Amino acid sequence: MAKSVLKGSARVQAQLNGIGRELQGGWMKRLLSRVLRRAQALPHLNAGFLEGASPEKDGTPVAMAAYYNEFGTENIPARPFMRRTIAKNQDQWPKLLAASLKAAKGDLEKALDMTAERIVTQIQAEIESLQDPPLAKSTIDNRLRVSRRNGSIRRVNMQTAVKPLIDTGHMLNSVAHEVVSD
């Protein structure tokens, strides 16, 4: 008699465990859904080449020129300045945001703006410091030839002429940020 009661209680316990898991899973799903809805309503920052930035002189959107430089094309070697910026700095960003929150006295939008300004500076520093892969000799010669032809309109010295990501400085100066509240 005791054996059958134990067998029956084991089945009941298994059913109760299954119901408990279902209830817990539903509870967890509802909680996670609520947390995600609230997180989506929080402001966030975007840093890089934003929509609406003025295009290059030839009409190419600056974000597209940055993409070509980042990943390369058939004729341009990859110069991954964004990926290097992220790799070098991403571990600092949570601390930077925490310090910005403290400085902004808890104002999240102001703290995000302060953090984004620093990230823009980091992207620009990577653009300015990137040297590898070097420019082709033909590109350097072309830059010097154009600068001589334009005279005082655009002065280029040899140091600037050999910088891979800096020709006119337009891409460098187009790095921007925004704080977005959805």
Separation between Cα atoms, residue 99 and residue 94, nearest integer Å: 9
Which tens digits make up the pLDDT trace of 62-71?
A: 888 889 888 9
Cα separations in angstroms, 92 against 96, 118, 120:
6, 11, 14
Which tens digits make up the pLDDT trace of 91-126?
A: 999 999 999 989 999 888 899 999 999 999 999 998
Which tens digits make up the pLDDT trace of 6-37?
A: 445 666 566 656 655 555 556 667 777 776 77
Q: What is the pLDDT of residue 7?
A: 46
133: cis peptide before it, omega within 30°? yes
Instruction: Give Cα 175 distance to the centre of its chain.
Output: 12
